[in-house]
Each structure stands twice: as C-alpha cells, then as structure tokens.
Amino acid sequence: MSSPGAKAITVLAVIGVGWYTGVKFWQPLIIEQLRKDGNLRDDVYIHDTSDTPKSWEDVRAKWKSVVNPEKPDPIKDEKMIQDFKNDEKKVIENSRNNN
C-alpha cells in the first residue's frame, strides 16, 4: 500500500497536467472566437501561435532544416559576424570610457 503523501502528490500531479493540457487545448479556440466576435481586448498580450507547425510534416521539415541545413546562408553569417564585432567594439569603448 502507498502512503497518503504519495497519493496526494499523484492527485496533484494529475490535476496539474489536466489543467495545463486543458488550457493549451481551449485557449486557441477561445481566442479565435473572441477575434471573430470583435471582443478581444488590445491591452492584453496574447501569445502569437502563427508560427506553430500545422502538421507533423511541418515539424519534420523544420527539424531537418535545423539539424542538417543543406546550404547555410553565407551573407547572413557574415552579417552576424560583423554585428558581433560592432557590438564588441562598443562594449570595449564603453568600458574604457567608464574607467
């Protein structure tokens, strides 16, 4: 037999998982309906889910592009390196000015 503490932890875990999955399931449906009705408030931040994959094929394609990129973009890499060097120069200048 298990102890009352273990049973309580199990019940709390089940309640927590149920609440979390319920929120994840119902939130997009409720937000969509509020948008349709025109009742969605502008002062409340809503997490944008437009970049979430729509199917498992989208997930696989995104995973493949991250894990095994066929052609890295050299222009993007050069720009990132240049931005890093510029930021490094600014940090060095700021540290010299503060001393």
This prediction's pTM: 0.40
pLDDT band with cut points at 50, 70 and 90 for residue 10: very high
Cβ neighbourhood burial of 31 (10 Å; 0-12, 13-18, 19+) = middle
Closest to 4 in 3D by CA, of 84, 45, 42, 12: 12
Which residues, in sequence order, are CB contacts of 31 under 8 Å at separation 6+?
Answer: 40, 46
Higher pLDDT, 53 or 55: 55
Tell me what pLDDT residue 54 has: 79
